[in-house]
Structure 1
Amino acid sequence: MSLSSQLRMALSSSRYLLSHHVLLAHQAGMAVSIGVQPGPDSLFDEPLRMRVSGLSPLQPVTMKAWLRDEKGQLFHSLAFYRADGEGELDPALSPSLGGHYTGIQPMGLLWSLSPQTPFTRLVKRDVASSPFSVHIQVFDGHCSLEQLTHQPLATATNQRWFMKKGVSRIPVREGRVRGTLFIPPGKGPFPGVICVNEMQSRLTEYRASLLANHGFTTLALAYRYHAHLPEDKLTLDLEYFEEAVKFLQEYPKVKGPGIGAMGISKGADLVLSMATFLPDVLAAVVINGCITSAVLGLRFKNELVSAGLGYTMSRMLVADSGVADIFEVINRVNKDSMMPIEMAEGTILFVVGEDDRNWNSKFFAVEAIKRLEEHGKDNFQILSYPGAGHYLEPPFFPFCYASYHAVAGVPTRWGGNAKAHSFAQEDLWPKVQEFLRKSLNQ
């Protein structure tokens, strides 16, 4: 080795040792801390502002977030950052240089939370008594999850609640109606909204509870697998949903004359049916829904409205990973099988994830709008999101690539990419509230 090469190596080594000692001295003199706004407690759909202080100028760090769901399943995320010249770090101003996401993403640590157990979707079951505890940590250097064995420089915790103080939660068993009612604090009355979720084994309340925080009296409505409702019924009765509409409409804390309804997946086509046949439904939010009754039949006033759009499981594709793609499984919809949505007296908001792999939500929405326009109707709006998949949740729910499908019986792809899907969730939530307020306050 030449003398000049030896000198260069020595100089490089001294610079490393000097910067390392400066780092240690800086950390010894000023503790690293994480500030979280609006504070240690927040609502789940509320954005966080995270700031790290006490770092060395330009120090490379890894930010990590993690939580455990109610079954103990671990979700975690990380991103690589570099402090500014003052030793400060603000993810709202500084880009992630790698990890689970890149670029300036203020809430990236939350929407990129990934399950340690594959095909696990984050679902909140108990909305009343416990939050999700999100732990935020900062580590020295850029490290993978496997390399994060040393102690963090700083830790903070944010308790993310689903009901704000003063919201009432009331289990409902009224006639045939089963579900949970959420009432905002205050005198009221408030606009009333029925929330109908996808077809699954139990009632979920998180969407209804979060909406109630924003001034709506909401009913999370069960229609199967809950409180003695029929579990094996292949044809649903729309009169059950009519009873739910009348129950909410007549509730003292609900502002009339009509109500709204919001649904996703199977819940979306039920909401579309409600808007079609029940004139008191003045606003319908249809999130990635079908334009006829999917899978299950639908009956109203002793007449069969729809026999239930069937599916052909042989068209399912299964990757080597075991994840299924069921995009082609659902049978084709023809005009004769479509719901007569031109009968709807209220306004319909179609929400589309353009990369939905559960079924062709974009096609369904386009065909629905064609039918409305053919009948001279203009009582509709559409929000269509490129790169978004099927499960469009309230904001900051982690992107779910694949999870167990109740009908297919295997893990399936939901479509979308994390960044575009998460943007869609954040953009959609206030627009849904605006649509419901405008439609129900007329």
Structure 2
Amino acid sequence: MIGTDSHFLNTSQNHHQVNVCSTVPAACGQRDALQTPRLSTMSQTVPPVLSVHPSRSLVDEKLKVLVENLPPGSPVTLHSLHRSEDEHYWEAYGHYVSDHRGIVSVAEDSSVGGTYTGIESMGLLWSMRPVPGSRKGLRLRKMNVRSPMLFNISVYNGLITEGFREQTPLASALIERWYMAPGVQRIDIREKGVRGTLFIPPGPGPFPGLLDMWGGGGGLLEYRSSLLASRGFASFALEYFNSGELESAELEFSYFENAFSIVKDHPQVIPDKIGIFGLSLGSIMTVYLAAESTIVKPLCCVCVSASHFYPPGKNLHGVYEVMTMKPHMIRVDENGHHAWRDMGLEIIKEPSYRINVEKINCPMLLVNGLDDQNWPSVECADEIAQIMSAAGKGDLVTRLHYPDTGHLIEPPFSPHFRATKFKTATGKQKVILLWGGQTKPHSDAQEDSWRKILSFLQHHLYSRETPKARM
């Protein structure tokens, strides 16, 4: 193991207040988006005050956004702006009318228009979308978890739907959202041929462990593991192939067994309290490890958009080849987005491709969206539950199914991505994949499922209360 980082922050939670005369820090990279030559038409002796609490928080914590000192009955627009690490701008906004006291509370008042409507305390984050004119198929993901995501929250006079760069805000606030809590250790892993990043929670430990695996997009994604460590679980974000390089990876089953052993053998991990967390292709490996490995004995498994599909005798490259062996069944919608669901339905009909899930002896949480357009994950979950029940193990399966929810069920308050650019694992093609879901119900599913995932992990991996990390 090499390259251990410890991460410490100032944990102040004071309100972050900025009035119209304030400047946005240049570090946010958004000064140009908020500076304009024109002044607001709203005129009063005491300027409006915008407060966001906490100003520094973990990404799964809720915010309280409050605007005060407005004239009663004033129409205003609350707007959020974020510049991603790949330098694309994302925004969300809601329309409000101040009450008789001249106050707008996002947690208590309804948005009457914008990228979200109704009482939505976190709508300024989960309804974010690329600003007009951006490239198609973008996806917002945090790659460097050692730095925060910065958001400018601003309030504007009137009900605005565009041209925010040409408007002067009445007040603004800059907030930080973190995946990695103070005291979490980040450890680069390069041993036994395995690569990834292990995150250790703050405190003396030892802690329950998790092997965390993402899907067919490849690469090293750390943000879910760092958030899990912030919630008390030592989590190993496993990199098992780079984007577009699956053909050269030729990964065998032993790679994943070695990764599990690395978590188990770490001195800060409780060796008999380790689970596996997988999404999409990662969930296939999760199910296969739990069913077939004589080395890996997880105490529990979380499978998001799960499948029990694994052709016998194949390495990971071979699995992916079979998954995509019927390209003529890919459906292309009116926007040119590729839906793989029908192709998957045909492939999973082959009985020999099914994992022997009746061998699994640990509790499983299956999280699925009923509008998954990428893979027939709900049908797979149905069959997993049926097989386990027939084997007398039905009590081991817990299922969460969400209507109007797609394939990519992320940590809470992440934007919804119905379709994004995707480089196939063999690197032969770049397409825009249709994942499915509708913004509001998909976002509700992300919030609800994360809470239940943490509860599931707490119940099965902890015999004491999980440490509560805060910024």
TM-score interval, normalised by the smaller of the two chains = 0.7 to 0.9
- 1:84 paired to 2:102: no
Instruction: Give the deviation of 1:164 after TM superposition.
Output: 1.0
- The match for 2:331 is 317
Q: Aligned partners of 1:305 and 1:341: how far apart in 2?
A: 17
Q: Aligned partners of 2:78 and 2:103: how far apart in 1?
A: 13
Q: Aligned partners of 1:163 and 1:67: how far apart in 2?
A: 18
Residue pair 1:353, 1:387 contacting (<8 A) in 2 also: yes
Instruction: Give the deviation of 1:353 after TM superposition.
Output: 0.7
Deviations 1:116-174 (A, max 9, x none): 3221000110001x211111111111111236622011111111111111100010011
Q: 1:123 aligns with which of 98, 120, 141?
A: 141
**Amino acid of the structure 2 residue aligned with 1:74:** Y
Equivalence map 1:418-433=2 (5 Å): 418-433=439-454
**Amino acid of the structure 2 residue aligned with 1:411:** I
- The match for 1:154 is 171
| SS of structure 1 residue aligned to 2:430 | coil
Q: Aligned partners of 1:409 and 1:360: how far apart in 2?
A: 22
Instruction: Give the deviation of 1:337 after TM superposition.
Output: 1.6
Instruction: Give the deviation of 1:274 after TM superposition.
Output: 1.5
Instruction: Give the deviation of 1:233 after TM superposition.
Output: 4.4
Q: Aligned partners of 1:235 and 1:341: how far apart in 2?
A: 24
Residue pair 1:385, 1:424 contacting (<8 A) in 2 also: yes
| SS of structure 2 residue aligned to 1:145 | coil
| Cα distance, 1:289–1:235 mapped onto 2, change above 3 Å | farther
Residue pair 1:235, 1:297 contacting (<8 A) in 2 also: no
- The match for 1:391 is 408
- 1:172 paired to 2:193: no
| Cα distance, 1:343–1:35 mapped onto 2, change above 3 Å | same
- 1:272 paired to 2:290: no
TM-score normalised to structure 2 length? 0.83
Q: Aligned partners of 1:329 and 1:409: how far apart in 2?
A: 18
| Cα distance, 1:307–1:439 mapped onto 2, change above 3 Å | farther
> Could you say which structure has the larger radius of gyration?
1
Residue pair 1:293, 1:306 contacting (<8 A) in 2 also: no
Residue pair 1:275, 1:282 contacting (<8 A) in 2 also: no
Identity %: 34
- 1:328 paired to 2:342: yes
| SS of structure 2 residue aligned to 1:436 | helix
- The match for 2:268 is 253
- 1:380 paired to 2:401: no
Equivalence map 1:209-288=2 (5 Å): 209-225=226-242, 231-233=246-248, 236-278=251-293, 279-288=296-305
Q: 1:113 aligns with which of 125, 128, 139?
A: 128
Deviations 1:34-86 (A, max 9, x none): 11112x21111211110011111010001111101101011111111111110
Q: Aligned partners of 1:234 and 1:71: how far apart in 2?
A: 26
Residue pair 1:293, 1:307 contacting (<8 A) in 2 also: no
Residue pair 2:337, 2:431 contacting (<8 A) in 1 also: yes
Residue pair 1:261, 1:283 contacting (<8 A) in 2 also: yes
- The match for 2:374 is 358
Deviations 1:289-340 (A, max 9, x none): 22113899348xxxx9998444322222333433233321223313332100
- The match for 1:346 is 362
- The match for 2:76 is 61
| Cα distance, 1:61–1:100 mapped onto 2, change above 3 Å | same
- 1:438 paired to 2:454: no
| SS of structure 1 residue aligned to 2:290 | helix
Q: Aligned partners of 1:219 and 1:52: how far apart in 2?
A: 41
Instruction: Give the deviation of 1:433 after TM superposition.
Output: 1.4
- 1:292 paired to 2:309: yes
- The match for 1:409 is 430
**Amino acid of the structure 1 residue aligned with 2:392:** G
- The match for 2:219 is 202
Q: Aligned partners of 2:297 and 2:305: how far apart in 1?
A: 23
Q: Aligned partners of 2:311 and 2:109: how far apart in 1?
A: 45
- The match for 1:19 is none
Deviations 1:261-301 (A, max 9, x none): 101111111111111123521211010022113899348xx
Deviations 1:395-441 (A, max 9, x none): 01111121012326211221111110101111111211111122223
| Cα distance, 1:307–1:97 mapped onto 2, change above 3 Å | closer
In the alignment of these two chains, the number of paired residues is 411
Instruction: Give the deviation of 1:88 after TM superposition.
Output: 0.4
